[in-house]
């Protein structure tokens, strides 16, 4: 079998990530990733010049615009070596622990039915970011949407984020965080990559759901660990990102429902509009402190 460094191509999406991008690429090299592609969504900082100077072997793809996370991954994947049979999708503000890539690839190799593997994601303070989740039913979705902003430990959010299961145990999940995951290259190609209708948010929910629909298992593997700063790029445009989040939720709801259920669309849109206003108020209140 081809060696691990040859088998994996990492695709890192960058938008003004500054030194975080350098740290991410450095951690990928320390994890024996030979092929690193940086897909840049029209950054205006010096991150591209810095990464080119620090690591001339990095493949840089200047997308020519901001195509969102999935769009960046799609464009970066095109430039990755076809010989790589595993894609490692990464945020730029991520540190890969040295054994994480090897562990995720091993999980793919162990079971032919596993198509996507996500690691345990730790926040910078060492706390858990729940990366493996369920697709919530209507009641959990509504409960999480409204209570999660002010009461993050509510039962709806806990169920959606799988917080009451042992996070040290590998398991099948409905979807895995797009911040970092490994996917079989042939599966990614078969799915046509990310659906770029999801500019930001829920693009990984859509990808994982389409993968599950054709029989691929999504797996959470806590033995692989990464550290994620989170929000380095999205915090630069906070209110636009809030709007994109709600727009993506509406799009997801529409494509997940059919027939007479779609008659509820005006009510769903109204609910999301109310939630958006509340989210803006909550964020404004927190930033004003």
- For β-strands 171-172 and 217-228, DSSP reports them as antiparallel
Rounded Cα gap, residues 91 and 85, in angstroms: 20
Residues 203 and 221 in one domain: yes
Residues 102 and 206 in one domain: yes
Rounded Cα gap, residues 237 and 43, in angstroms: 13
Residues 117 and 245 in one domain: no
Residues 103 and 200 in one domain: yes
Domain edge (last residue) among 230, 254, 279: 230
Rounded Cα gap, residues 269 and 289, in angstroms: 31
Residues 260 and 186 in one domain: no
Q: Is the pLDDT reported for residue 83 higher than 70?
A: yes
42: left (phi over 0), alpha (psi -120 to 50) or beta: left
Task: Tell me if 149 is assigned to some domain.
Answer: no
Give the tens place of pLDDT for each residue, 92-122: 999 999 999 999 999 999 999 999 999 999 9
How much of the chain exceeds pLDDT 90, in percent? 88
Task: Tell me if 211 is assigned to some domain.
Answer: yes
Kindly report the three-state secondary structure assignment for every residue of 135-170: CCCHHHHHHHHHHCCCCCCCHHHHHHCCCCCCCCCC
Q: Taking the model in full, what pTM does it have?
A: 0.94
| Mean of the per-residue pLDDT values of the chain | 94
Residues 126 and 223 in one domain: yes
**Contact between residue 64 and residue 42 where contact means Cβ atoms under 8 Å apart:** yes
Which of 138-152, 185-199, 224-238 shows the lowest per-residue confidence on average (mean pLDDT)? 224-238
CATH of the domain at 87: 3.90.550.10
**Once rounded to an integer, what is the mean pLDDT over residues 179-192?**
97
Q: Which residues pair with 220 in a beta bridge?
A: 118, 171
Domain that holds residue 254: 239-287
Domain edge (last residue) among 193, 209, 230: 230
**Once rounded to an integer, what is the mean pLDDT over residues 155-174?**
96
**Contact between residue 12 and residue 24 where contact means Cβ atoms under 8 Å apart:** yes
Q: Which residues pair with 89 in a beta bridge?
A: 11, 181
Contacts of 197 (CB under 8 A, 6+ apart): 251
Task: Tell me if 83 is assigned to some domain.
Answer: yes
Q: Is the pLDDT reported for residue 231 higher than 60?
A: yes
Domain edge (last residue) among 187, 208, 230: 230
Three-state secondary-structure class, residue 228? strand
Residues 215 and 128 in one domain: yes
Predicted local confidence at residue 288, as pLDDT: 56
Task: Tell me if 124 is assigned to some domain.
Answer: yes
Task: Tell me if 168 is assigned to some domain.
Answer: no
Give the tens place of pLDDT for each residue, 111-154: 999 999 999 999 999 999 999 999 999 999 999 999 998 898 99
Residues 117 and 250 in one domain: no
Residues 81 and 182 in one domain: yes
Residues 282 and 220 in one domain: no
Task: Tell me if 15 is assigned to some domain.
Answer: yes
Q: Is the pLDDT reported for residue 263 higher than 70?
A: yes
Rounded Cα gap, residues 18 and 51, in angstroms: 9
Of the pLDDT bands very low, low, confident and very high (cuts 50, 70, 90), residue 4 is confident
Residues 197 and 282 in one domain: no
Task: Tell me if 161 is assigned to some domain.
Answer: no
Rounded Cα gap, residues 122 and 124, in angstroms: 6
Rounded Cα gap, residues 60 and 79, in angstroms: 9
Task: Tell me if 258 is assigned to some domain.
Answer: yes
Q: How many domains does the chain have?
A: 2
Residues 270 and 130 in one domain: no
Rounded Cα gap, residues 90 and 224, in angstroms: 14
37: left (phi over 0), alpha (psi -120 to 50) or beta: beta
Closest CA to 174 of 147, 148, 204, 138: 204
Predicted local confidence at residue 75, as pLDDT: 98
């Amino acid at each position: 079998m081809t060696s691990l460094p040859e088998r994996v191509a990492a695709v890192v999406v960058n938008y003004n990530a500054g030194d975080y991008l350098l740290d991410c690429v450095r951690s990928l090299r320390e994890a024996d990733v030979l092929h690193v592609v940086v897909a840049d969504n029209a950054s205006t900082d010096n991150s591209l010049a810095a990464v080119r100077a620090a690591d001339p072997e990095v493949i840089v793809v200047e997308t020519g615009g901001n195509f969102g996370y999935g769009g960046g991954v799609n464009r970066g994947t095109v430039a990755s070596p076809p010989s790589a049979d595993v894609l490692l999708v990464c945020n730029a503000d991520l540190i890969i622990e040295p054994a994480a890539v090897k562990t995720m690839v091993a999980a793919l190799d162990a079971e032919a039915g596993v198509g996507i593997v996500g690691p345990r994601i730790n926040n910078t303070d060492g706390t858990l970011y729940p990366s493996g989740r369920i697709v919530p039913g209507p009641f959990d979705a509504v409960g999480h949407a409204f209570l999660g902003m002010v009461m993050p430990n509510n039962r709806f959010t806990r169920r959606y984020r799988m917080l009451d299961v042992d996070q040290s145990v590998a398991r099948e999940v409905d979807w895995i965080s797009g911040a970092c995951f490994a996917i079989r290259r042939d599966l990614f190609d078969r799915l046509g990559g990310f659906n770029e209708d999801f500019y930001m948010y829920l693009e990984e929910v859509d990808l994982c759901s389409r993968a599950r629909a054709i029989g691929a298992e999504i797996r959470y593997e806590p033995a692989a660990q990464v550290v994620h700063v989170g929000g380095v790029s999205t915090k630069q445009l906070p209110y636009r990102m809030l709007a994109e989040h709600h727009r993506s939720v509406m799009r997801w709801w529409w494509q997940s429902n059919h027939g007479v259920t779609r008659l509820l669309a005006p009510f769903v849109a109204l609910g999301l509009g109310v939630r958006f206003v509340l989210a803006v108020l909550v964020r404004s209140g927190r930033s004003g402190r």
